[in-house]
Chain A
Amino acid sequence: GESVGLHLPTLSVQEGDNSIINCAYSNSASDYFIWYKQESGKGPQFIIDIRSNMDKRQGQRVTVLLNKTVKHLSLQIAATQPGDSAVYFCAEKNAGNMLTFGGGTRLMVKP
Chain B
Amino acid sequence: DTAVSQTPKYLVTQMGNDKSIKCEQNLGHDTMYWYKQDSKKFLKIMFSYNNKELIINETVPNRFSPKSPDKAHLNLHINSLELGDSAVYFCASSSAATNYGYTFGSGTRLTVV
Contact = CB atoms under 8 A, between A and B. Distances in A.
Interface string A27-59: 000001010101001111110010100000000
B52 interface: no
B31 interface: yes
A48 B92 CA distance: 17
A101 B38 CA distance: 13
A7 to B, nearest CB: 7
Interface of chain B, main secondary structure: strand
A103 B43 CA distance: 7
Contacts, number: 67
Contact of B99 (A3, A93, A104): A93
A89 to B, nearest CB: 7
Contacts of B45: 98-100
B100 A6 contact: no
A44 B90 contact: yes
Interface residues of A, number: 30
Contact of A3 (B42, B100, B103, B105): B42
Contacts of A32: 99-101
A12 B29 CA distance: 37
A87 interface: yes
Interface of A: 2-3, 6-8, 32, 34, 36, 38, 41-46, 49, 51, 87, 89, 91, 93, 96-101, 103-104, 106
